[in-house]
Amino acid sequence: MPKVIFQKSGQEAEWDGSEDNLLELGESLGIDLPFGCRQGRCTSCQQTIVSGSLEYPDGHVGEPDPGKQLLCCSVPSGEEDLVIEA
């Protein structure tokens, strides 16, 4: 199971699938993350990904800026730890 590390917040957790997406994981750790629609449309939840990879199980409509990804509708992919700048 990959670990998800929120770099600036100094928080981390193993991804065990108990949260629906990375935004909810961050919130469960008490991190104050921006969001809007929570449906992959508005891009309010975009964050810079430092390393690792993620995927969008249900796709997304909004396009994040280069180097950023939408946390509200994504989950880690692969075995490498996922480091998020937030």
Report the interface residues with ligand FES, using CB under 6 A. Answer: 35-38, 40-45, 62, 70, 72
- DSSP run (H or E) holding 3: strand 3-6
> What separation in angstroms does the CA of 26 have from each of 32, 57, 71?
8, 18, 9
Q: Which is nearer to ligand FES, 1 or 36 (CB)?
A: 36
Q: Which residues pair with 49 in a beta bridge?
A: 84
Q: Which is nearer to ligand FES, 1 or 61 (CB)?
A: 61
User: What tokens were used for 56?
Assistant: 């969008």
* Least distance from ligand FES to the Cβ atom of residue 79, Å: 25
* Least distance from ligand FES to the Cβ atom of residue 78, Å: 22
* Least distance from ligand FES to the Cβ atom of residue 7, Å: 19
Q: Is-contact 22 84, C-beta < 8 A?
A: yes
